[in-house]
Chains A and B, each alone.
Chain A
Amino acid sequence: MAEYEIPELRNIPIIPKVEVGTMAHIKSFMAKESMQTALGFPGELVDDWEEKLLDKMDDLRGRYRSLQVYLDSCVKCGACTDKCHYFIGTGDPKNMPVARQDLMRKVYRRYRTFAGKFFGKLGIPGFVGAAELNKDVLDEWYSYFHQCSQCRRCSVYCPYGIDTAEISMAAREMMDSIGVGQKYCNEIVGKAQTIGNNLGLPERALADTLEGLEEEVEEDIGVAVKFPLDQKGVDILLVAPSADFFAEPHVDGLIGYAKVFHEAGASWTLSSHASEAANFGMFIGSYENMRILSQRVRKAALDLGVKRIIFGECGHAWRVAYSFLNTLAGPWDFMDPKYPVPQHICEYTYDLIQQDKLKFDKSENDHMTITFHDSCNVARASRMGNKPGGQFDIPRAVIKAACNNYVDMPEDTIKEATFCCGGGGGILTDDLMEIRVKGAQPRMEAYNQVVKERGVTNLAAICAICKAQFSKVLPYYGFGMTDIISVHQLVGDALLLSDAADSNDAEDVGGEE
């Protein structure tokens, strides 16, 4: 299956021994000149790149308090050292959050602090944790800042809240600014900015796909569930990750959302202009690019005249939507003030369940025992509902409303302590397969535990990246690639549609909740 060793599953918790350099060979494909220039970055490594890199660092330190405070504040206490899934899966010490940050911090200290300049001139910058900037350092940046999925697990455990995601985003933006970009992220940002989604799916193809889905669903259940596109004057704009349009198991989630809207009698639409929930501008730390992508959602909302915006199942997308959309594309004063902007599809479904507007036949999901994978950026960078922690409770409540058999994975691997799937933050590319497989190991180990001890059969998630990543890496660990399912697949499969031919059967199971 691959030329590297597939790790054996161990019992959690695991703290590996340090093995220097095991992942130093990892290098994702670099962005071509055209992909760079499309985003306003230099096409190749510029002359005087050292100076320009430091200039960019100064620019970002001046614009982001997080970067300045985090570069200064780390005391090297070691609290984060065993928290990153990439370290747990590889033992490479540069995958310890503090060591990853130090790749930048040592340069900052050398050129921008008194201690680093002083000992640097004496020829011993390492005495105070500083280091000279050279091509080797840049290569290490490129390698290890693309082995961070920006999942924020380290920031939960840091006594100062230092978030390696902030450092790796800044590092990627600094590298982009001197012409060293990553192909996967930058190509996708370009596609989403010009075509409207990460897959580069044009309007016509999208319309065909949705028509196909309508036919398929009607054939399957005998109900004309609609998948409207670019319909003006409806109440709700649904912004889904583009993987939902065709990838497995994503598309089953999309069918689930459509059934919920159908049953609720809601008028809704997708948009071909904003046909992507994900915002890879965040992965490359670029406020400007992230804003351009967010503005597409605003334009779609204005053009279609909707009153609410709902985001589909997508992790980093929900972070940008929940935490940043108001900043980047607000104010949303033209929307229905009764609802927050934007809402998560799980919030929407949950509210309908609370109002008793959805009926389920949970036995439809009885062939499975489900566990829930908290997606990192939903868990640690956003919220659902009114209360802190709603991002944990609401998806679980939705699952339990649709399933009889639910089990949580061990406490130190879920909720705020959840492990990233191993593919987030710009890592979900074939050229990074080795780090993806190894980074998934902590999650696989936690999953294995509930499979063995509690008879769990499936892993549900609310993130397009998690779903794509798991369907790829589950087989490496001896599980089925279809173990991973969408939360709204569970909802869609168990939901009783009142206009279905056999809706009378609903009466005896509907009151079970």
Chain B
Amino acid sequence: MSALFAGIFYIAALIFVVGVGRKIMLYARTPAPLKIPTTPAPVTQTGVVLRMAREVVLFSSLFKSNKWTWVFGWMFHVGLLLAFFRHLRYAISPNSFLWPIVSFDLIQAFGKYAGFAMLAGLGGLLARRFLVDRVRYISAPSDYLMLVLLLGIGGSGMLMSFVAHPDIIMLKEFVLGLFFFDLQPLPTDGLLLVHLSLVALLMIIFPISKLLHAPGLFFSPSRNQVDNPREKRHLAPWATKFDADQG
């Protein structure tokens, strides 16, 4: 069982890193031949960084659009982030210089209860898919299942946190072992195996699904371009041939 899960996680990590890495390379390499920021847009690079920060941290465009989707979406993402921070202590050795940070009480406490926000947010988003006719119309089965998958991850995690604790020391030895290619036994706790399987599945589908919105946002020309087309000539490499033809 330990070897099987170790294998699954190596493969999942490989698919995740290579898959997402390739997409990021593709986005970075593909030119944006025209200036298309959605205006009013910042006129400086600093302004663009601030605009992007507002989008990433506060979901500012979504806030303008729909308060329910914003509340549920933001709760879920922030809950997920805090839960992720809490998980770092399972993957970082007490000898690491990072340990004082990840073991910090606030991170642990926030992370524990953030799970509720995450589940509530996901529940709200799932309810919207069923209840709002417009959102129902655009939802494919995979859109529902993505939320179910995340609910499964959050739910199994919360059960381990609050109801049936697995052998966390043993788990940590297994995880640290993965980093050093030193296979350690994994606790055969049912909830834990479900939790880990679903996380591996999430990593595997990340580069082939809409989860690409995470890197995608940073490459969105309507959000990341400076509004200065009159001041600075913008030309894509493939478009220079026209200038050359013109002589």
Given A156-B38, A380-B39, also A75-B132 (CB < 8 A): no
User: In the complex, what residue of chain B is closest to A18 when comparing beta carbons?
Assistant: B133
Given A78-B69, A81-B135, A160-B213, also A324-B43 (CB < 8 A): no
Question: Is B39 in contact with A388, judged by CB distance below 8 angstroms?
Answer: yes
Interface string of A91-102 (1 = CB under 8 A from B): 001001011001
Given A69-B27, A327-B33, also A383-B66 (CB < 8 A): no
Question: Is A391 in contact with B229, judged by CB distance below 8 angstroms?
Answer: no
Q: How far is the CA of A74 from the CA of B212 in the complex (A)?
A: 8
Q: How far is the CA of A66 from the CA of B38 in the complex (A)?
A: 12
CB-defined contacts of B238 to chain A, threshold 8 Å = 63
Interface string of B236-247 (1 = CB under 8 A from A): 101100100010
CB-defined contacts of B141 to chain A, threshold 8 Å = 126-128
Binds A, one of B6-14, B115-123, B179-187, B214-222: B214-222
What is the number of residues of chain B that contact chain A, defined by CB distance less than 8 Å? 64
CB-defined contacts of B232 to chain A, threshold 8 Å = 326
- Among A65, A98, A323, the one with the most B-chain Cβ atoms within 10 Å of its Cβ is A65
Question: Is A81 in contact with B208, judged by CB distance below 8 angstroms?
Answer: no
Interface size bucket, A side? 35 or more
Given A74-B210, A323-B35, A383-B40, also A63-B138 (CB < 8 A): no
Binds A, one of B56-64, B86-94, B95-103, B155-163: B56-64
Question: Is B142 in contact with A68, judged by CB distance below 8 angstroms?
Answer: no
| Nearest CB of chain B from residue A316's CB, rounded to whole Å | 13
| Nearest CB of chain B from residue A411's CB, rounded to whole Å | 12
Given A74-B213, A77-B73, A80-B65, also A66-B221 (CB < 8 A): yes
Q: How far is the CA of A63 from the CA of B59 in the complex (A)?
A: 28
Task: Say if the beta carbon of A82 comes within 8 Å of chain B.
Answer: yes
Question: Is B210 in contact with A340, judged by CB distance below 8 angstroms?
Answer: no
Q: How far is the CA of A324 from the CA of B133 in the complex (A)?
A: 39
Task: Say if the beta carbon of A56 comes within 8 Å of chain B.
Answer: no
Q: How far is the CA of A446 from the CA of B235 in the complex (A)?
A: 40
Interface string of B141-182 (1 = CB under 8 A from A): 111000000000000000000000000000000000000000
CB-defined contacts of B234 to chain A, threshold 8 Å = 326-327
Task: Say if the beta carbon of A114 comes within 8 Å of chain B.
Answer: yes
Given A69-B27, A75-B213, also A161-B61 (CB < 8 A): yes
Question: Is A72 in contact with B35, judged by CB distance below 8 angstroms?
Answer: no
Question: Is A78 in contact with B66, judged by CB distance below 8 angstroms?
Answer: yes
Question: Is B229 in contact with A323, judged by CB distance below 8 angstroms?
Answer: yes
Within 8 Å by CB of B138, from A99, A115, A331, lies A99
Q: How far is the CA of A59 from the CA of B239 in the complex (A)?
A: 14
Q: How far is the CA of A158 from the CA of B66 in the complex (A)?
A: 10
Question: Is B38 in contact with A152, judged by CB distance below 8 angstroms?
Answer: yes
User: In the complex, what residue of chain B is closest to A331 when comparing beta carbons?
Assistant: B233
CB-defined contacts of A386 to chain B, threshold 8 Å = 43
CB-defined contacts of A389 to chain B, threshold 8 Å = 40
User: In the complex, what residue of chain A is closest to B125 when comparing beta carbons?
Assistant: A77
Q: How far is the CA of A450 from the CA of B231 in the complex (A)?
A: 38
Question: Is A381 in contact with B217, judged by CB distance below 8 angstroms?
Answer: no
Binding site for A on B (CB under 8 A): 23, 26-27, 30-36, 38-43, 55, 59, 61-62, 64-66, 69, 73, 125, 128, 132-135, 137-143, 205, 208-210, 212-213, 216-217, 219-223, 227, 229-236, 238-239, 242, 246
A–B Cβ pairs within 8 angstroms, 17 of them: A17-B133, A18-B133, A63-B238, A69-B220, A72-B216, A76-B210, A78-B66, A79-B66, A81-B138, A128-B141, A159-B59, A159-B61, A161-B61, A161-B221, A379-B39, A383-B40, A392-B40
Binding site for B on A (CB under 8 A): 15, 17-18, 20, 61-66, 68-70, 72-83, 93, 96, 98-99, 102, 113-115, 126-129, 152, 155-163, 166, 287-288, 291, 295, 322-324, 326-327, 330-331, 340-342, 379-383, 386-389, 391-392, 416
Known: A323-B35, A342-B230, A381-B36; 7 extra A-B contacts, CB below 8 A, are A65-B219, A96-B137, A155-B222, A161-B220, A163-B38, A324-B35, A327-B229
